[in-house]
Amino acid sequence: MKQALATVVEDICRRYGCDRTRMLDIVLAVQQRLGCVSTEAMEVIAREVNSHRVEVESVVTFYAFLSVKPQGKVVIRLCNDIVDWMRGYEAVADAMAKELGVTMGETTADGAITLTHTPCIGMSDQAPAALINEVVVPNLTPERARQVVRDLRRHLDPAQLITMVGDGNNAHPLVHSMVRNNVRRRGPVHFDSFESGNALQKTLPRTPELVIAEIRASRLRGRGGAGFATGQKWEFARNAPGDQRYVLCNADEGEPGTFKDRVLLTECPDQVFEGMTIAGYALGSNSGIVYLRGEYSYLRPFLESVLESRRQHGWLGKAIGGKPGRPQKRPDALQGDRAYHSEPLRKILRKLGIIPLLASRYTEHGSGLGKTRWVIERCLSWLHQFKRLRQRYERRSDIHDAFLSLGCALICFNVLQNSFC
Ligand code: FES
- Whether 19 maps to a domain, the answer reads yes
Query: Is 118 near ligand 1, meaning CB less than 6 Å away?
Result: no
Q: Which of 312, 343, 362 is the last residue of a domain?
A: 362
Lowest mean pLDDT among 82-91, 220-229, 291-300: 220-229
Domain hosting residue 406, numbered range: 367-420
361: Cα separation from own chain's centroid: 25
392 lies in a domain? Answer: yes
Last residue of a domain, one of 20, 41, 62: 62
Q: Is residue 175 part of a domain?
A: no
> Does 357 lie in the same domain as 373?
no
- Domain identity same for 238 and 382: no
379 pLDDT higher than 70: no
- If asked whether residues 44 and 108 sit together in one domain, one would say no
- Cβ(83) to ligand 1 under 6 A? yes
* Residue 212 sits in the same domain as residue 305: yes
Percent of the chain topping pLDDT 90: 59
Q: Flag whether 190 is in a domain.
A: no
The distance of Cα 268 from the centroid of its chain, to the nearest Å, equals 13
The β-bridge partners of 288 are 247, 332
- The 3-state DSSP class for residue 51 equals coil
Cα gap 134→188, rounded to integer Å = 33
The confidence band for 47, taking pLDDT boundaries of 50, 70 and 90, is: very high
**For 162-205, how does the pLDDT look when each residue is reduced to its tens digit (9 = 90+)?**
999 999 999 999 999 999 999 888 887 778 888 889 999 999 99
Ligand 1 atom closest to Cα of 81?
3
Q: Is the CB of 120 under 6 A from ligand 1?
A: yes
Are residues 57 and 78 part of one domain?
no
Indicate whether 222 and 327 sit together in one domain.
yes
User: Which residue, among 65, 37, 294, has the nearest Cα to 12 in the 3D structure?
Assistant: 37
pLDDT in tens, 264-301: 999 999 999 999 999 999 999 988 999 899 899 999 99
- Give a yes or no: residue 36 inside a domain: yes
Q: Mean of the per-residue pLDDT values for the chain?
A: 83
Mean pLDDT, rounded, for 375-404: 62
Residue 84 in domain: yes
**Tally of CB atoms within 10 A around 19:** 14
Does a structural domain hold residue 189? no
153 vs 334, which has greater pLDDT? Answer: 153
Residue ending a domain, among 362, 387, 403, is 362
pTM of the model: 0.75
Say yes or no: 217 and 314 in one domain: yes
How many Å lie between the centroid of ligand 1 and the Cα of residue 123?
Answer: 5
Looking at the structure of the chain, the number of domains it has is: 4
Higher pLDDT, 251 or 263: 263
Do 207 and 292 lie in a common domain?
Answer: yes
90 CA distance to ligand 1 middle (Å): 14
Q: What angle do CA 293, 296, 298 make, to 5 degrees?
A: 135
| Predicted local confidence at residue 194, as pLDDT | 85
Instruction: Look at residue 191 and tell me if it is in a domain.
Output: no
Regarding whether 341 and 303 lie in a shared domain, the answer is: yes
Shared domain check, 334 and 377: no
